[in-house]
Amino acid sequence: MVLTTPYASIFSAPRTALAISRIVRRYHPRVTSEPEGKGAPAPEIRAAATPSSVRELAQEALRLARVDLRQAEATATAACDAAATLDDPTTTGLSFRCLANVRYLSGRLEEAIVLYQRALEAFASGNDEIEGAKTRSSGLQTLILLGRYDHAQSWAAAAREVFVRHRDPLLVARLDCNLGNLLHRLDRHREALAAYETSLRFFRAHGGDPQATAAALLNSAVCLIILGDLPEAEARFIEMSAHCRRNGMPLPALQAEYNLAYLHFHRGEYTRAIEHYRAAVERSREQGDIYHEALCRLDLAEIYLDVNLTAEAAELAEQARAAFAGLKLRYEASKATAFAAIAAGQRGESDSAAALFAEARRGFDAEGNHAWCAMVDFYRAIALLEARRPEDARREANRARDWFLDAGQTPRVVLAELLLARTELALGSYGDASRHAVEARRRLEQLDSPHLLYRASFVDGQIAEASGDRATALERYRDACTVLGGLRAHLHSEELLIAFVKDKQAVFESLIWLTLETMEPGSGADALAWVENAKSRAFADMIAPRSIGPRRAGRAPSGLKAEMRLLREELNWCYSQLDAADIAGNGPSEGGGEALLGRGVATGTVDDLRRRSRQLEGKLIKVTNRLRSRDLDFDALESTGISVEAVMAALPDDTLLLEYYEARGIVFAFVVGRDRIEVRPVSSSERVRRLLGFLQFQLSKLQLGEAYVRTFDEALLLAVRSHLRELDDELIAPLRSLLDARSLIVVPHGPLHRVPFQALWNGESYLVDHFALSYAPSASVFRLCSMRPARTTAGALILAVPDDYNPGIAAEAGVVASAMPGARVLLGDQATPDALRRWGGGAGLIHVAAHGFFRRDNPMFSAIQLGGASRLTVLDLYELDLVSELVVLSGCGTGLGGVEGGDEQIGLVRGLLYAGAQTVVATLWDAQDESTRRFMQAFYQRLQAQPDRAAALRDAMVELRDAYPHPYYWAPFFLAGRPSGRPLLGDTPLAQG
């Protein structure tokens, strides 16, 4: 947040003389920190300098300060140089004060104080005490920002004595507003609000100072946000915006927009807040306003911490910290340090967090700011509770709560009471926990704060459940999840949607667990609805608009698109250099790579390139998020609402949906048909994870070479079947009597995304022998994919990129082309991302035979290696607009994905489904060349005969298994999205998309 201070005096826009205008143009963009005595003034200034012209320049500088700080600096500098030619102390003082005001607004605070002091000396030599008092009033904010509170109080007292003696209520009102800033800085918000209200009453009644009126409106609104009165704060912002428009003051309007973002944040409107802050950052940078740019970054860091974008928050906090340290602003630097500490705690770096918290508290102690000392205590209490030290946490939380109470900071009191309730709950003191929760609820009634309301409801539910009151617990958990759904509806970007729920899964898990525990047999619809609210909601919200129709054209600015293009070009160059280095055997060793030359890295090692590529990836994600936030699809995002009945109605004939969910260490399974829902607990999460680890180890043995596999083929098959049998016992056997259908749509959860369900073995047969299997990230995503309207498509596009590791890719492309005789086949360097964009938009079938790889460190950059040494990443797929009935990725591990918050599976399959593909076939592990070729041949032959893609996939697996009995060869392939569709036309020429 930022407060604004009125100038010592504000005039209407002057009629500047032509000679003065020419002087200003000469000085712009000249900036100097010592304008008043270095060399003789320019002849034009000597000729035009009069007390009147200097006043005109000073007035013009003050007017420009509301519009353009650089022009204001040039004009104020000209005023000082003109005043230096005159022997008039008052004129000299006015010019110094004018330049001091501009330097303050530019964040050059130490220079501003020097100039204020010189102005005071000039006014004293001219016996002009009223202008001296105005200078002290105007300079208060600079002293406040520098932490010189005693000095500020001394100046305020001296100014008040003069204003009262001269009986000037306007100047007293301005001083009250500035004094409110001092009280606000010390977090004495109720006293600050009273001071602002006093000045505002005068300005509303008498007018006379538009800038001071704007300051009082803005500053009182900031206090109202902190004190929890959001409706009145919003009313002040609206009044200020109208006031600024009437009086032509864009700079205060920018400050209002900045603080309005903080209001949106407190209401849980995260996307609106972030957009406001980003706009304010750009405008502050354009104005050369270092201070406000850093403040924007600081508050953005706070928002990102709240939605769990920890890395971004840490980066912003460090940027703000460095800027404030450079400006010698200890208070703001300490806040940035506290946010950096919170980010370190979120990353699990407890020692670093403790050190940063201690540093922040020392800074606030030195400032005499007890409120932020209390906030540091509060954050430390959270860390102590998470470290299972509830008694220590209670001590710190009590200390913080008491100070928040004294300061009248209701939102912070609510947070502290809820934290105390959690500590008492951890200590088993349910009565004391309930007392704190009730107090939090009582105070929460005064606030419009959904992000506090969901926390209060969740804590209430935890207390009720621990006390044995399941009915109340269920109601409170349901309330918490409902509020979270409302908050999530304001997050119009995938990044925010995913990050937001990372630390909130316990809320959904508690509700689902208790719903399952208390429900009557055969009534699992409520539980499934909440499961769907918890799983892949970001993806469901993303693709919801595309289930209605094709993507509409976005309105992204050309500058962002150009920046994205340049970032991609440099990133592809870095990737190609890294690939070349890996092939040459230079490897990724720190500091030991061979020297390389190129774009972005003038001279460096492989490690330099890796670091540079990570930086570019981070920048590209940020630009992409900004572009997609402007995309009409994302503007239209709303919470899609979960209708279990709609999911059931979307199921094809003779098909069941099998959805898994982990809650409190237990794996539950929902069996959903058109007319029934059954739910069963099937296994423990720990056991499934252990068995899956064993299975993956056995599958990895098939990569030890042909000689090893031939020698131990029977033993390898027996071992892998043993683990597949154990997983079948856990995940399928308890449900077998319920699975009375020909097709299954499997919706995994957590680690189950890596289970090859088609290969689960019951001792006699595999699961694929009984069912045609397909997969979906969630039941909601399956339904949305099934709703996609049929679009006119024709022909096939085949992209194939053979390499030394995958020489059979060319033969595979030939097999697919023979099954689709009208296909356009692009091999090697022809198979580029640009070719996909050109031809893929109208293709009914897209087959990509190329090396794929999964990036565990950054799943958004999982990619397919295409021709021309270029990569097609998940981010690139998001930019495509496909109409394909089917996209097949036959490369190694193309179906792998990273599981993020809310069970969001981030990988190539997600990117293709978002791009518009009806169905995607991909692989769970590195498939073998020859077996892949034979599988594709069988798969495409069957596709010609039937529209059921899942059945075609099953039949191809069964056929391949005769030649390759081990599941490693025939079971990596899986189908996601719509399991059936129209027959693929292989003899139609492909038009450009």
Please calculate the CA angle 168-170-176 and round it to the nearest 5 degrees.
105
Question: How many CB atoms within 10 Å of residue 39?
Answer: 6
Report which DSSP code applies to 761.
Answer: B
CA separation (Å) from 485 to 248, 255, 310, 524?
Answer: 41, 31, 22, 20
Tokens of 424: 């008492």
pLDDT band per the 50, 70, 90 thresholds, residue 4: very low
Determine whether 372 is exposed, middle or buried from the number of CB atoms within 10 Å of its CB (0-12, 13-18, 19+): buried
Cα separation values, 712 from 276, 363, 766, Å: 63, 67, 22
φ, ψ (nearest 5 deg) of residue 788 = -60, 130
Q: For 671, how many CA atoms within 13 A lie in the half-sphere containing its CB?
A: 18
The tens digit of pLDDT for each residue in 278-330 reads: 888 887 887 777 888 898 899 899 888 887 788 889 999 999 999 999 888 88
Q: Could you tell me if 509 and 536 are in contact, meaning their C-beta atoms sit under 8 angstroms apart? A: no
In whole angstroms, give the CA distance from residue 680 to residue 660. 10
3-state secondary structure of 596: strand
Tens-digit pLDDT profile for residues 449-503: 888 898 999 999 999 999 999 999 999 999 998 888 877 766 666 666 666 666 7
**Alpha carbons 984 and 50: distance in angstroms, whole number:** 86
Give every CB contact of residue 721 below 8 A, 6+ residues apart in sequence. 761
| Beta partners for residue 92, in sequence order | none
Angle in degrees, CA 249, 252, 208, rounded to 5: 60
CA dihedral sign of residues 605, 607, 612, 617: positive
Report pLDDT digits (tens) over 935-990. 999 999 888 877 889 999 999 999 999 999 999 999 999 999 888 876 665 555 55
Torsion of Cα atoms, 587 then 588 then 593 then 598, to 10° = 100
Whether the bond between 29 and the residue before it is cis, its omega within 30 degrees of 0, is yes
CA distance 796 to 790: 17
Beta bridge partners of 89: none
Question: What was the pLDDT predicted at 20?
Answer: 44
CB-based contact 763:957 (threshold 8 Å): no
Residue environment code for 213-235, b if the CB has 16+ CB neighbours within 10 A, otherwise e: bbbbbbbbbbbbbbbbbbeebbe
Question: The tokens of 975 are what?
Answer: 């189908």
Q: Show the CA angle centred on residue 417, arms to residues 415 and 421, nearest 5°.
A: 115
Looking up tokens 């029977």 gives: 714
Whether residue 145 contacts residue 369, with contact meaning beta carbons closer than 8 Å, is answered with no
pLDDT tens, position by position, 536-584? 766 777 776 655 555 544 445 556 667 777 777 777 777 767 766 655 5
User: Does pLDDT of 910 surpass 90?
Assistant: no
Instruction: Give the number of other CB atoms < 10 A from CB of residue 990.
Output: 21
Lowest mean pLDDT among 142-151, 221-230, 254-263: 254-263
SS3 state of residue 518: helix
> How much is the pLDDT for 625?
65
Q: What's the rounded Cα separation, in Å, for the pair 486 and 483? A: 5
Residues 958 and 942: their CA atoms lie apart, in Å, by: 12
The pLDDT of residue 709: 83
User: Which residue in 854, 841, 836 sits closest to 922, CA to CA?
Assistant: 854
- Token pair belonging to 797: 């596009």
Q: How far is CA 411 from CA 53, 227, 277, in A?
A: 52, 7, 22
pLDDT band (50, 70, 90) for residue 335: very high
Condensed to tens digits (0 to 9), the pLDDT of residues 397-442 reads: 999 999 888 878 888 899 999 999 999 999 999 999 999 999 999 9
DSSP β-bridge partners for residue 660 = 669
Give the residue among 679, 678, 682, 673 at the shortest CA–CA distance from 742. Answer: 673
Range picked from 6-15, 242-251, 336-345 for highest mean pLDDT:
336-345
* Local confidence band at 665 (pLDDT 50, 70, 90 cut-offs): very high
**Structure tokens given for 312:** 């971004």
Q: Do 991 and 794 contact (CB within 8 A), yes or no?
A: yes
3-state DSSP assignment of residue 14: coil
d(CA 993, CA 990): 9
Within a 10 A sphere around the Cβ of 120, how many other Cβ atoms? 21
> DSSP assignment of 233-280, as one string?
HHHHHHHHHHHHHHHT-HHHHHHHHHHHHHHHHHTT-HHHHHHHHHHH
What amino acid is encoded at 180 in this protein?
A: G
Judge whether 864 and 851 are in contact, CB under 8 Å.
yes
| Degrees to nearest 5, angle at CA 918 with 917 and 921 | 80
Q: Largest alpha-carbon pair distance within the chain?
A: 107
The SS3 call for residue 769 is helix
Bond from prior residue into 521 cis (ω within 30 degrees of 0): no
Strands (E), 567-717: 596-597, 603-604, 655-663, 666-672, 677-684
Cβ atoms within 10 Å of 835's Cβ, excluding its own: 18
Assess contact for 543 and 782: CB atoms under 8 A: no
CA 698 to mean position of chain CA atoms: 38
At residue 74 the predicted structure's pLDDT band, cuts being 50, 70 and 90, is confident
DSSP H or E stretch at residue 774:
strand 772-775
Please tell me the predicted confidence (pLDDT) of residue 635. Answer: 38
Nearest Cα to 920, choosing from 859, 983, 979? 979
Using one digit for the tens of pLDDT, what is the confidence trace for 830-885? 988 888 888 888 888 999 988 887 777 677 778 888 887 788 888 788 888 888 88
Distance CA 649, CA 547 (A): 16
| Size of the chain, expressed as the number of residues it contains | 993
Mean pLDDT along residues 234-254: 80
Q: What is the CA radius of gyration of the chain?
A: 33
**Distance spanning both ends of the chain, measured CA to CA:** 48
Percent of the chain surpassing pLDDT 90:
33
Report in angstroms the alpha-carbon separations of 138 from 94, 155, 564, 876. Answer: 12, 10, 45, 53
Residue of 337, 340, 383, 343 whose CA lies nearest to 363: 337
Q: Which residues contact 701 (CB under 8 A, 6 or more apart)?
A: 708, 709, 712, 716
Q: Is 160 left (phi over 0), alpha (psi -120 to 50) or beta?
A: alpha
Q: For residue 976, what are the CA distances in angstroms to 374, 455, 725, 790, 979?
A: 51, 36, 24, 18, 7
pLDDT of residue 673: 94
Q: Is 853 helix (H, G, I), strand (E, B) or coil?
A: strand
